[in-house]
Amino acid sequence: MQKSIRQIQEALNSYSIALSGEELQSRIDVIKKAQEYFPLDKQRALAIKLMLDWEAHPQRKIITASSEICYVKGGPCVTSFGILSRDWPGLSHACLGVLHEMGWNVYFMKGFSLTHLDTPLGIVILGVRTDDEKVYRQLIGQTSEIEEKLRQAAVQDGGKAVLLNEEIRKLEIYSRVIQEIQRIYLDDDIQEIIGLDGETVKFFAARSRDYLENRRVEDLSRQIVLNFSFIKKARETGSVIQLDITNFETRKEGFFTGVTVCGVSSMLNLEDCLKTIELTIPHYLLKHNREFTTAEGISLYRIEFVAANGGPLCELDQNRLREAFRSLVLEKRRDRAQWIESIGGFEQYARAIIPLLVREAQSTGITQVYQSVGNMTDLFIDFKIIGVIPDKQGFQKNTINELINAIESVRGLHIQNIKPPKRFGKTHLFIMDTRASLAVIDNVEAVYRLLHEKIRENLGDFRDFDEGMRTMDGVKFKSVYAQVKQMDKSLFREIFYSIEDFLRVSAPVNEIAGHIRLVYEILTKMKENGGILVQTSSVGILAPSGKFRCQAMLIGIAYPHDRVSLREVLAVFDDFDVTMSRLERGGMDILVCRVTDHDRTPSESQVRELTDSLKHLAG
């Protein structure tokens, strides 16, 4: 032992470190303690087993083995995995990645090269420690799968080595970005940005090494924090669009302009953003674009570009682009309000949402509030507010009067109309019309914020029903897309969010998938047909008997704006109950009507009469 201590002391001299025998022994004891569950003799035994297996089967390129070392039943165990392969750079990293990808932390790792029977070999030994019986059994159940993945990972491949180098370089940048975010972001929720499933991990997973290397750590960090903050604000404010326009310097290509836009998926898509830039900055050169949608239906778009002269936008052009995005959002809200009015006004719209609000209020015991934009001009914007207060909240008769007074106390906000509280089940429902003067309150975002503040002050905590709709949308989006994966995702998203809001949320997945397939079929045929196009589709399920049971009849019609009016189309369906959705494409309106006749599916003869009438609209 003393000889071993002297040898280590001599080796430490090369690091200019001098320790007494007692000090050195204490460090050695710590190292031994760390390896007590996987001692050196066990490591050597596993390596020798790998060599013997390779000698017995020299035709095999990869040899793997595993073993368990448990000293106390139900206590700490180390499950070890050994890999022998022809040696190549990156072997140990490839093997280590297998365990990390499967969610296991590595307790011990050793890798070394040797020449055996004139063959250069690499041996990697990995140990995973488990401290209770349940986790141990879970790991043992995955042993065969882990060994198979290790065999695949250990195969020498030039491309694999390149990919590993790429990931190692990305990891270096990732570490520096984490440090920078910890420096600039001081709020308590930082783990949502830098944690295991945080914004930074998602950001790096979606970007190439070239992209990351071409941008400064400070700019990458700012972008990640901005993404997180924008998504958080979008959850809180509902229909408010978050926008940032900033110039930044790349390492290889000079200055770019970066645009980050975030909002509810139903209000905004990537094509809208790109068109807005093209109209404002003609002949711009796109350098990078990326889109991401959360489970709650909030979309974030990142667009990087240069102007036609190859440089970033000047301050004047940045301001013009900001105004263009504000106009885009305003126009989309105005279009939506006009569409609601054209298909029967808000009263018809409210008949769809009130039952949902009442049901949510009764089941959760939380006040539900829904805000919808009505008439809009450059001078004012009207809001329809529907609130449902559950009895559990202790509704008082003067509650709504206090809310009215609170809203009226804000300069620029006025109550236009109020429907007194009415009892629905175990809730009270109220509806009020509010007008905001844009001459006093200069942007829509401020109007939303002020209304939210006054509602919360007077009704207490409430659920913005837009948020609930977004969550349901997110779940439905994934389920429906799984049925139509062959479709381009951007087109799918555009069609999905064109479907009438409450139909989109409440209809079965197979019906929404049928709706989307119908629109896709119409879009395909529109390329060959410039006139009126009518298509039908019956959506349903197979009954236990094997017979098709129709749940809904969908009738789609595409027509040029200038040849048919919406009023003419609506007139065809006067004797039926219709839920109508609209998509605009290339000067054409595409309407999809879900048609029922007193809650029953129309007969074949009725459908034939409807389609014939639609086809003859243009004369």
Name which of 591, 509, 507, 606 is nearest 555 in CA terms.
Answer: 591
CB count, 10 Å around CB of 445?
18
Q: Which two tokens mark 436?
A: 């905001």
Indicate the residue type of 539: V
- Give dist(CA 256, CA 215) in Å, integer: 10
CA dihedral 380, 381, 382, 388 (to 10 degrees): -140
Q: pLDDT digit string (tens) for 479-496?
A: 888 888 788 887 888 888
| C-beta of residue 349 within 8 angstroms of C-beta of residue 385 | no
Mean pLDDT within 284-301: 87
User: 241 by DSSP, 3-state: which?
Assistant: coil
Q: pLDDT digit string (tens) for 551-574?
A: 778 999 988 877 777 788 888 888
Q: Is the pLDDT of residue 590 over 80?
A: yes
Q: pLDDT digit string (tens) for 58-115?
A: 777 788 888 877 655 656 888 889 999 887 777 777 788 888 778 888 888 888 888 8
Q: Which two tokens mark 548?
A: 């098709």
Q: Is the pLDDT of residue 217 over 90?
A: yes
Phi (first) and psi of residue 58, to 5 degrees: -65, -20
Q: Is the pLDDT of residue 154 over 80?
A: no
User: 119 by DSSP, 3-state: which?
Assistant: strand
Q: Is the pLDDT of residue 349 over 70?
A: no
pTM attached to this predicted model: 0.59
160 band by pLDDT with thresholds 50, 70 and 90: low
| pLDDT of amino acid 317 | 94
Q: Which two tokens mark 586?
A: 């290339």
- Give dist(CA 459, CA 387) in Å, integer: 10
| C-beta of residue 122 within 8 angstroms of C-beta of residue 87 | yes
N-term to C-term CA, the chain: 104
Output the CA angle 156-160-163, nearest 5 degrees: 155
230/32: higher pLDDT: 230
Q: Which two tokens mark 267?
A: 């209000």
Mean pLDDT of the chain: 83
- Which DSSP symbol is given to 104? -
307 band by pLDDT with thresholds 50, 70 and 90: very high
258/119: higher pLDDT: 258
547 band by pLDDT with thresholds 50, 70 and 90: confident
| pLDDT of amino acid 408 | 92
Backbone Cα Rg of the chain: 32
Q: pLDDT digit string (tens) for 396-420?
A: 778 888 999 999 999 999 998 888 8
| C-beta of residue 293 within 8 angstroms of C-beta of residue 350 | no
- Which DSSP symbol is given to 307? -
DSSP 402-445: HHHHHHHTSTTEEEEEEEEEEEETTEEEEEEEEEEETTTS--HH
Mean pLDDT within 299-327: 92
Mean pLDDT within 40-54: 88
380-403 burial, b at 16+ Cβ within 10 Å, e below that, comes to bbbbbbbbbbbeebebeeebbeeb
Which residues, 6 or more positions from 576, have their beta carbon under 8 angstroms from its beta carbon? 595, 596, 597, 602, 606, 610
Residue 406 burial (C-beta neighbours within 10 Å; 0-12, 13-18, 19+): middle
Q: Which two tokens mark 544?
A: 């236990």
- Give dist(CA 180, CA 173) in Å, integer: 11
| pLDDT of amino acid 376 | 67
Q: Is the pLDDT of residue 209 over 60?
A: yes
Q: What percent of the chain has pLDDT over 90?
A: 18
Q: Which two tokens mark 401?
A: 């009067």
Q: Is the pLDDT of residue 28 over 90?
A: no
Phi (first) and psi of residue 150, to 5 degrees: -65, -40
User: 41 by DSSP, 3-state: which?
Assistant: helix
Mean pLDDT within 248-254: 94
Task: Give the chain's domains with CATH numbers.
Answer: 2-34 (no CATH), 40-156 (3.30.70), 211-339 (3.30.1360), 345-460 (3.30.70.260), 469-615 (no CATH)
Q: Is the pLDDT of residue 331 over 70?
A: no
- Give dist(CA 447, CA 433) in Å, integer: 14
For residue 491, is it left (φ>0), alpha (ψ between -120 and 50) or beta? Answer: alpha
Q: Is the pLDDT of residue 270 over 90?
A: no
- Give dist(CA 488, CA 491) in Å, integer: 5
Q: What percent of the chain has pLDDT over 70?
A: 88
User: 479 by DSSP, 3-state: which?
Assistant: helix
